[in-house]
Amino acid sequence: MNSFPINDKPASKGPMLGTIIIILLIIIGGIYIISSRRGAETNVVPPPPVNEGSGTPGGVPADTAVVPTADIQAAALTGLDAVQSDLTTAEADLKSLETEIK
């Protein structure tokens, strides 16, 4: 007589299938990371070319006119004067509105 129980039910394939899916995902993720690192190394932008003889980057001619600092400051002050006059006008308009309301 056989005293060992006989299991007539087939074994479940769920745990084995889950393990295979997880291993495949890890492999696919590793391949993706490796390929993205290779792509990042090959997409390096080279520096701009140097104009021969001038030593300036980007091919800018060496004889390009330079704007004096005094001209830049004068232009900025002119712009500030325009803003100041606009603020003065706005302030006067606001005061006239306040007197009309009262």
- 1: in domain: no
- 84: in domain: yes
Which value, to the nearest 10 degrees, does the dihedral of the CA atoms of residues 32, 41, 60, 79 take? 50
Number of domains in the chain: 1
**Residue 85 scores a pLDDT above 80:** no
CB atoms within 10 A of CB 56: 13
- Using DSSP's 3-state secondary structure scheme, residue 8 falls into coil
What's the pLDDT tens digit per position in 6-52? Answer: 666 777 888 899 999 999 999 999 999 988 887 666 666 666 665 55
* Predicted pLDDT of residue 57: 54
| Largest interatomic CA distance in the chain | 116
Q: What is the pTM of this model?
A: 0.33
> DSSP states of 27-77 as a string?
HHHHHHHHHHHHHHHHTPPPPPPBPTTT--BTT--TT-----HHHHHHHHH
| Structural domain range at position 21 | 14-42+68-101
Indicate the burial class of 36 (C-beta count within 10 angstroms; 0-12, 13-18, 19 or more): exposed
- 27: in domain: yes
- 79: in domain: yes
| Rounded-to-integer distance, Cα 82 and Cα 74, Å | 12
